[in-house]
Structure 1
Amino acid sequence: MAAERRRRGAEGPREARGRPRERDRERGAARGARGGRAALGLAAALALGLGLAAAAAALGQWGRWRAAARAASPHPAPPALPPGAAGPRAAPRRFWGSYRPHVYFGMKTRSPRAVVTGLMWLQQREAGGGLRHTCEQGDGLASYGWLRHDGDNFGVQDLRDRGLLLRTEFVKRHGGEHGGDWSWRVTARPEGAGSPASLVSLFFYVATDGQGTLQPHVEDRTRLAAVSGTSEELGDFRITFLRPTSESGEGSTYSSYHYLDAWSPGLHRLTDVVRSSLSDRFVFSPPGGPRQRFVAVDTFHGLPGAAEAARSHLLLHQVTLRLPARVEVTFESGSVRDRRGPLAGPALTAELARHEAAFERRFEETFGLERKGFPPAQRRFAQAALSNMLGGMGYFHGRSLVQSPLHEHPVPYPETSLFTAVPSRSFFPRGFLWDEGFHQLLLARWDPELSREVIAHWFDLMNAEGWIPREQILGEEALAKVPPEFVVQHSETANPPTLFLALQQLLGTAPLPYLRRLFPRLRAWYEWYNSTQAGPLPYTFRWRGRDTDPERFLNPKTLASGLDDYPRASHPSADERHLDLRCWMALASQVLAEAAERLGEPAEPYRHMQRALSDSELLERLHWAEELGAFADYGNHSRAVGLRREAGRAAPGRPPPAPRLVRVVREAPRPRFVGALGYVSLFPLLLQLLPPDSPRLAPLLAAMRSEKQLWTPFGLRSLARDSPLYMQRNTEHDPPYWRGSVWVNINYLALRALHAYGSLPGPQREQAAELYRELRHNLVANLYRQYAESGYLWEHYSDSSGAGQGSHPFTGWSALVVLVMAEDY
């Protein structure tokens, strides 16, 4: 209409030409009136149009702002964990703990701004010894880890450092209103190449994290005898550093004392503060013994170039002594009124013995390894695996850094806390979403209440859209261990929802009030996967967030899947169908249906989805690759790709850069099944979606048992030996990861499935049972052998030698070996 009015207004003057002036004036007036009305209509229409456009733009902008804000906003449902549930009144026995997994030995409370305690040590050698504090693979310790740890009351750990054996022990004594008391004992002795005359310094410290006060109590000018303090969560407390004794606890031993009173920019810089305070001007001179120069803390003059404001008060007690020796530290809460005396010396010995005996009984009652005939050495190995997972629990507080497609730059997530197990104290000392589901399979067997609490912590991290960040980097200490490229969490990126594995196990016994608080978040998480990770066809799914730079990678990675460099379609596209995600969603549908039924909520939508995703005919139509003889992903794929070294272009006036490896494609990609037989191919079996009489079960079992494909004497390898990308590097600096190595978490799922198929009527029952027995033996035997030889559980294992590979210690999902030994699935 506005265009029509503009045309009419343009015609008027031409019609009036050559007419009499009176009539022209008359008609001109009429035309003027009509033209005025037309102009007014045109202006109104224009204004309306502009207003509508502006409103639409504003509405669109508001919608984008709102969607972007939701990515960094917490979910509106009531928290799964009631407020205060992690505090000293609600959970006093868990308030204190070894919740600093990234340090060799330390304790803190489950508080946002906790007072922390810890141990450092230094071997005083002429060649110089490294200061030990945070767990670092580069330190080269022969072994370290918890031997016994019950998750609540006590822990015993051995650390072997180039001729030095340190045994750290702690015991808690409950009472009062702030988590009670605790005591440490550190026993140092020479081992192997060490000398009885070895000189060692032990550094015990306490530090604040932005709140609380500390007061030193110094004797003889250099000995920090005690620290008194107060904080919001602890009230008043006192830490006492007892004088060292002989290894047996008898008498005293000559020592040199020094202390440090300093301020740090934060807990993440404590090592730097101590290291920068060391001086070599001191001499150890015991009566009648040899004199030896050593280094000790001296005056602290600040960190070079540090621009951060100091906010952590550090008090450190250094004791330097010859081996063997023992040192004890006591923490006493001001709210304990009926203390029976200090928890030290014989009293500490008795408490340790009592808790160790209780741990042994509980471990056997839970897992029954002695009844199954495992010898003492293998039972101790299993105890250490469980204890390291319990001793690797951490309590973190801080903000994630998140980015949605609608954010120009990353934005901070709201402050939050997380109580979780960690995969590796040295390399991954923080929470990982898909790891945690596997962790809880073991922890739920040991302590279902603990497991339910951890799961609730994770679901309380959910944003308004139902997304949970896959990697939790909360606080400065956690951030200090993360490469910058992995800090930002992307809100469109998923991770395998393995928490449904743990929930499947806990559903039958979880209290209904707990399940009712959790259910809105379970539902939101499930709906987020269905809406954001949907595939190109009904009942298909696709991992978002694949690497999109085809020139850099032999096969662009899929970090969201947890399987990183496992071969997917060579050319990422929206047409991909990812088999493993489809199977995870089948499991999620089953768990949601069972939870809804327990709560009296509508369950049929979840049951419908479960039936559709478990339908054998549909599964085969979408994912069975006849030429591969197995299930597979589908996408735009080339079977002929490789890496070729190519010289880079030199900038004018500069030398040419070093040649780089780039991808070459020798066959054009086309839509097809991905020719990679490996872990992904097994997912319908791993998550038990195939009925026992499925004709597809036999070829999968055959591939598992074939040494040319997945079978090894050490467990199932991740990618078949005859796969084109088996053990191939993904880039020049990116060695194979999920392309042949043996991974314990997937082997656990395989054993769990084989155990089930071996007990159900069907044509493959006997073969499944035989495979189960062989695979279980191979996996357990190799993990125990590698632990006995290296002192560690590892991230993954060589498929050719069985040797441990990747990060260590890795007592995250590798500790599932305990459930395999117990045959507890």
Structure 2
Amino acid sequence: MARQRKPLPVDHTNSRHSKKSPSKTQVNGGIFLYWRQGLVVICLVIAGVIGYMGYLETRVNTPFDEQKMVIKSGLDVPDRYWGSYRPGLYFGMKTRDPYSLVTGLMWYFPHQLHPDGGGIRHWCEDGDNLDRYGWIEHDGRTFGVQEIEDGPFKITTSFVKKPGGRRGGDWTARISVTSQGSQMRYELVSFLLYSAIEEKTKGWIKPSRFGNQLLTGVTGETDGLGAFTVKFYNHSGQVEDVSYLSTITEGLHVLKETVITSLRVITDPQKGIQKRIILPGELLPSSGAEGKRAEPNLVVTQVTARVPFELEMAFESGSYFDRPGSLIGEAYSRELSRLQDDFHHKFEEKFRLEAKGYKPDEIAFAKAAFSNLLGGVGYFYGASRVESSYTRGPVPYWKAPLYSAVPSRSFFPRGFLWDEGFHGLLISSWDLDIELDIISHWFDLMNVEGWIPREQILGQEALSKVPEQFVTQRNTNANPPTFFLTLHFILQNFADKLTEKEGHLGTLERLYPRLQAWFDWFNGTQIGDLSGSYRWRGRDALTKRELNPVTLTSGLDDYPRASHPDMNERHVDLRCWITLAASTISEIARILNRNGQKYGNTYDYLADNSLLNELHWSPRTQSYADFGLHTDAVVLKHPPPPKSPPGHQVPQNTDKIRVVLKDPELRFVDSSFGYVSLFPFLLQILDPASPKLNKVLDDLINPELLWTNYGLRSLAKTAPLYMKRNTEHDPPYWRGPIWINLNYMVVRALDHYSKTDSPYREKAKTIYQELKQNLIKNIIKEYRRTGYIWEQYNDKTGQGQRSRPFTGWSSLVVLIMAEIY
């Protein structure tokens, strides 16, 4: 019989297999323990989510974490410290300090002054209906001359800077007025010259008299300027009245309003004067904060004189101890004449217009177009208002300076991202240091995501000119990265200057990581669904008012795109911009000895004409086009009147609404031939040997499409939305009129293809010559006729229209004349 193994005894108290029931206390304790651990985990998860959401919320207004682009500004760049950096004014001077002393000019003719202050000139306003105004000479550093035609009167403002001392040196402005004919000679004119400081400026100003002068000047002191004086000199003319105002203004944006409310009308029968308009002198509250005496932040001197009249406003730095003499009178005239001679010599050296056979009045036009762009460079300081999907509404960007040209001194006196890339082509041709400084300021506005707000509204003066709905900038929205166009231009034309490690090359070194971040931002936010495709964000797919949802982010606003925005859209212009960006970064990487293979590979991929044609070539129209969910059968109609109960009248909404007459389908948006269709050609991505280039050239000269005797229209006459309103209240913008920036790009591309070995080079050359002459001839004709360069030109008559003066990218006509591309 087999022997059985005796089982070992089992300790039921310790075995995990024990079947003994736990006590109630043990059960409750275990549950509590698990519940507490779970609660801790949940709290940690919630805290992590909240923390991460908070992190995402702050990204939109967190600066890019690299070395700053601007390493020298303010007094570290003394020759650009002072300037005409208030482009929205007819004339004003300020420094490149965040909170600067500002000076400016107002004027009026007493016989034209209205009781509400109408007739006083200060801001550049279309409503002033001046016959002409603008800088005719300006070198961006040392001097400028401006002419203003106000009815029968011609006002000339000029300034000259003089280095000296440790605080930016001296400058003098001369203001004169003459009558165009003898009829208005001896008419009264009132000049109001002022000095003001902002609330946050650390310093003071007060009115002062100097010697035996009757004109009230200013003494003051700020952190940036130290001690200074502003003196006025009656250079020539019969002065009738002198008065001044010393007061407190609420801000730089209401200086004119402060003056208007301060003017006093008095009579003086003893002098035979029935009415005099004067300033009251000191107009201050009896005490300021904490019982202290109130200090003025605005001092205005009013001089009323007979036409013709001339006076000077001289700023003198207290740090300039060994000044040989004041920059006034003959000394001013001599220095101005010397600087003008230098300007004319440099202008011819840079642009060679005289050598090309242009007439003196045509060269004078080119100098005025160029000078008003350079004289429109401003210095701004403040914080943008931005928004992301993670913020609970608009939030402030960080406070920062911006040194930038503006598109239009009257209508757009602030910085625009895609405009500035075009401005840089002309500015860098004149002064590479100024342009690299401008680029540096713009790229210091990049946030940690690699995004740059497309419109910069910095400071009270800029904000006061912008409608509320355009103030907030969204971080999903792009703008054409035209600074790559500027940088490509610089690399092509100034490669020999990009050598000094501490100079221009150092700027590229600091710029490179920001260009990478910008490129990555585009490829992260504007990428399309298909490989190699891109899509502008920011279109409103739910609009009920717009005939075609606008694409403000593309810079081409109401240019027709797919009628129903969705994720299937492909935008050919954006794809071409990214191709240019990849090429430019690759070249900069080579110059800096960096590994730019990623960008070179991206360029090769995007520049592949086979893929380009697959995504954007329409077989039906044999043209490049966008792709998306689209129908041309969209109209604006008044909605049917609402039904109302008997005896009741319901008010009707008279605004037209968008009505879709035919369902959209995925297709090429090829019925709208225009500027967008040209982008593979404009950015020289199109193969020179491709028959498609021949088709593009044929389309250019077709008068039913884009060709006119004044330049290329923006949208073909055959397009369904040609010259159609986008809403009942919005006239066509990019739907037919001629724009100079895109015409410059066409001329540039024609020049390129006319010099490239291909079967179509002669055709490109012929079109180039004719288009170039059409543009130059019409812009000069309209300048002579109207006194202005315009935002756009009518495709039927060639007449200038919309904003004036528009010496932003319309001043590219100078480069067209000079054949600099």
User: Aligned runs of 1:684-763 on 2, under 5 Å?
Assistant: 684-763=680-759
**SS, match of residue 33 in structure 1:** coil
Instruction: State the match for 2:317 in structure 1.
Output: 333
* 1:421 maps to amino acid: A
CA deviations 1:196-218 (Å, max 9, x no partner) are 12111000100011222112114
Instruction: State the match for 2:226 in structure 1.
Output: 235
* 1:334 maps to amino acid: G
* 1:329 maps to amino acid: M
Give the whole-Å Cα distance in 1 for the aligned partners of 2:539 and 2:198: 38
CA contact under 8 A between 1:162 and 1:193: conserved in structure 2?
A: no
Normalised TM-score (structure 2): 0.92
Deviation at 1:139, TM superposition (A): 0.8
1:579 to 2:564 alignment: no
Deviation at 1:297, TM superposition (A): 2.2
CA contact under 8 A between 1:648 and 1:659: conserved in structure 2?
A: no
* Corresponding residue to 1:276 among 240, 243, 261: 261
Give the whole-Å Cα distance in 1 for the aligned partners of 2:731 and 2:536: 22
Deviation at 1:298, TM superposition (A): 2.8
* 2:510 maps to amino acid: R
* Corresponding residue to 1:526 among 510, 519, 529: 519
Distance 1:654 1:155, change over 3 A: farther
Deviation at 1:30, TM superposition (A): 5.9
Give the whole-Å Cα distance in 2 for the aligned partners of 1:354 and 1:650: 77
Count of residue pairs the alignment pairs up: 781
CA contact under 8 A between 1:282 and 1:296: conserved in structure 2?
A: no
CA deviations 1:507-546 (Å, max 9, x no partner) are 3233322211111111111111111111111111111111
Instruction: State the match for 1:130 in structure 2.
Output: 119
Deviation at 1:649, TM superposition (A): 4.6
Distance 1:285 1:119, change over 3 A: farther
**SS, match of residue 385 in structure 1:** helix
Distance 1:61 1:236, change over 3 A: same
Give the whole-Å Cα distance in 2 for the aligned partners of 1:647 and 1:194: 60
Instruction: State the match for 1:637 in structure 2.
Output: 630
CA contact under 8 A between 1:222 and 1:258: conserved in structure 2?
A: no
Distance 1:259 1:677, change over 3 A: same
Distance 1:156 1:282, change over 3 A: farther
CA deviations 1:270-307 (Å, max 9, x no partner) are 01100111222245998xxx74624222368799xxxx
1:57 to 2:46 alignment: yes
CA deviations 1:607-630 (Å, max 9, x no partner) are 110001100000000001111221
User: Aligned runs of 1:221-300 on 2, under 5 Å?
Assistant: 223-246=214-237, 253-282=238-267, 291=273, 293-298=275-280
Give the whole-Å Cα distance in 1 for the aligned partners of 2:770 and 2:182: 40
* Corresponding residue to 2:475 among 477, 491, 512: 491
**SS, match of residue 278 in structure 2:** strand
Instruction: State the match for 2:65 in structure 1.
Output: 76
User: Aligned runs of 1:114-193 on 2, under 5 Å?
Assistant: 114-125=100-111, 128=114, 130-192=119-181
**SS, match of residue 781 in structure 2:** helix
* 1:673 maps to amino acid: F
Distance 1:713 1:299, change over 3 A: same
CA contact under 8 A between 1:708 and 1:721: conserved in structure 2?
A: yes
1:86 to 2:73 alignment: yes
Range 565-574 or range 34-43, more displaced: 34-43
**SS, match of residue 429 in structure 2:** helix
Give the whole-Å Cα distance in 2 for the aligned partners of 1:602 and 1:339: 53
Give the whole-Å Cα distance in 2 for the aligned partners of 1:415 and 1:651: 54
Instruction: State the match for 1:661 in structure 2.
Output: 656
Give the whole-Å Cα distance in 1 for the aligned partners of 2:296 and 2:679: 49
Deviation at 1:504, TM superposition (A): 1.1
* Corresponding residue to 2:669 among 661, 664, 674: 674
* 2:196 maps to amino acid: A
Give the whole-Å Cα distance in 1 for the aligned partners of 2:590 and 2:216: 60
**SS, match of residue 628 in structure 1:** coil
Give the whole-Å Cα distance in 1 for the aligned partners of 2:268 and 2:772: 57
Deviation at 1:254, TM superposition (A): 3.2
Give the whole-Å Cα distance in 2 for the aligned partners of 1:467 and 1:709: 36
CA contact under 8 A between 1:95 and 1:110: conserved in structure 2?
A: yes
1:420 to 2:385 alignment: no
Deviation at 1:53, TM superposition (A): 3.7
Instruction: State the match for 1:598 in structure 2.
Output: 591
Deviation at 1:408, TM superposition (A): 1.2
The percentage of counterpart residues that share the same residue type is: 46
User: Aligned runs of 1:434-473 on 2, under 5 Å?
Assistant: 434-473=418-457
* 1:180 maps to amino acid: G
Give the whole-Å Cα distance in 1 for the aligned partners of 2:173 and 2:389: 49
* Corresponding residue to 1:202 among 185, 191, 195: 191
Give the whole-Å Cα distance in 2 for the aligned partners of 1:654 and 1:296: 56
* 2:708 maps to amino acid: T
Deviation at 1:550, TM superposition (A): 2.7
Give the whole-Å Cα distance in 2 for the aligned partners of 1:285 and 1:359: 52
* 2:408 maps to amino acid: S
Deviation at 1:547, TM superposition (A): 2.4
* 1:522 maps to amino acid: L
Normalised TM-score (structure 1): 0.91
CA contact under 8 A between 1:709 and 1:722: conserved in structure 2?
A: yes
**SS, match of residue 605 in structure 2:** helix
Distance 1:224 1:801, change over 3 A: same
Instruction: State the match for 2:92 in structure 1.
Output: 106
1:386 to 2:370 alignment: yes
1:500 to 2:491 alignment: no
Distance 1:561 1:331, change over 3 A: same
* 2:659 maps to amino acid: V
**SS, match of residue 247 in structure 2:** strand
CA deviations 1:572-595 (Å, max 9, x no partner) are 111111110100000000011111
Distance 1:809 1:31, change over 3 A: farther
Deviation at 1:66, TM superposition (A): 0.7
CA contact under 8 A between 1:176 and 1:335: conserved in structure 2?
A: yes
**SS, match of residue 801 in structure 1:** coil
Deviation at 1:98, TM superposition (A): 0.2
* Corresponding residue to 2:766 among 760, 765, 770: 770
Give the whole-Å Cα distance in 2 for the aligned partners of 1:670 and 1:154: 59
CA deviations 1:401-454 (Å, max 9, x no partner) are 100011111111111000000000001000000000000000000001111110
Give the whole-Å Cα distance in 2 for the aligned partners of 1:72 and 1:312: 35
Deviation at 1:222, TM superposition (A): 11
Range 370-379 or range 330-339, more displaced: 330-339
Q: Can you give the 5+ residue segments of structure 2 that lack an aligned partner in the other structure?
A: 1-17, 286-293, 499-503
Instruction: State the match for 1:626 in structure 2.
Output: 619
Instruction: State the match for 1:26 in structure 2.
Output: none
Range 548-557 or range 407-416, more displaced: 548-557
Deviation at 1:558, TM superposition (A): 0.5
Give the whole-Å Cα distance in 2 for the aligned partners of 1:113 and 1:172: 20
* 1:100 maps to amino acid: R
CA contact under 8 A between 1:148 and 1:155: conserved in structure 2?
A: yes
Instruction: State the match for 1:9 in structure 2.
Output: none
1:370 to 2:359 alignment: no
**SS, match of residue 198 in structure 2:** coil
Deviation at 1:60, TM superposition (A): 2.3
Deviation at 1:682, TM superposition (A): 0.2
Distance 1:285 1:425, change over 3 A: farther
Distance 1:582 1:126, change over 3 A: closer
Give the whole-Å Cα distance in 1 for the aligned partners of 2:644 and 2:538: 33
CA contact under 8 A between 2:772 and 2:816: conserved in structure 1?
A: yes
* 1:521 maps to amino acid: R
Q: Can you give the 5+ residue segments of structure 1 that lack an aligned partner in the other structure?
A: 1-28, 247-252, 304-309
CA deviations 1:233-264 (Å, max 9, x no partner) are 10111110112413xxxxxx232101001101
Instruction: State the match for 2:14 in structure 1.
Output: none
Give the whole-Å Cα distance in 2 for the aligned partners of 1:728 and 1:134: 33
